[in-house]
Amino acid sequence: MIAVIQRVRRASVQVDSQIVGAIEQGLLVLLGIARGDDESDVLWMVKRITHLRIFADAAGKMNCDVCQTRGAVLIVSQFTLLADLSNGNRPGFSGAEDPVIARQRCDAVSLGIEAMGIPTARGAFAAHMLVTLENDGPVTITLDSRARRAE
């Protein structure tokens, strides 16, 4: 599971000119589900996203997480994070999970974050989305649950 996380002042997702998900201050999470990701990846990703200390404390240091700042999270599925460019310039996506399973894993991450009391919005799975954001910082962090397996 791969996530690109951006600290935002606001973010929204449109599908067919309709806003399907929007947040104010918080985290925009672009989430790619890799073939073979399981419940342990979901739990790891939820914990890492919700505990990232990338918001300023009273001293201006990145020391607070999204819950402490009463922020929200917008989850946007993005299989293109699993692009394989090892055989030329046209990306291959064989490393991305089957859409049925990927939707379940993406939903599980969203539900896990919601269960922690953090307001959570979502994009539309497998839809062509227009994502708008106001990046705060900018602060952009990447997480890869597969890297933890090597620990």
Query: Distance between the two ends of the chain, CA-based, in angstroms?
Result: 16
78 is catalytic: yes
What is the C-alpha to C-alpha distance for residues 114 and 109, in angstroms, rounded to an integer? 9
125 is catalytic: no
- Active-site pick, 78, 93, 120, 132: 78
55 is catalytic: no
DSSP strand E in the chain: where?
2-15, 18-23, 26-32, 55-56, 62-64, 72-77, 120-122, 130-144
Contact between 74 and 121 under an 8 Å Cβ cutoff? The reply is yes
Q: Which residues pair with 31 in a beta bridge?
A: 3, 77
- Active-site pick, 14, 50, 55, 79: 79
What is the C-alpha to C-alpha distance for residues 7 and 133, in angstroms, rounded to an integer? 9
H helix runs in the chain, sequence order: 39-51, 99-115, 145-148
Contact between 41 and 1 under an 8 Å Cβ cutoff? The reply is yes
- Active-site pick, 68, 80, 140, 142: 80
Q: Write out the catalytic residue numbers.
A: 78-80
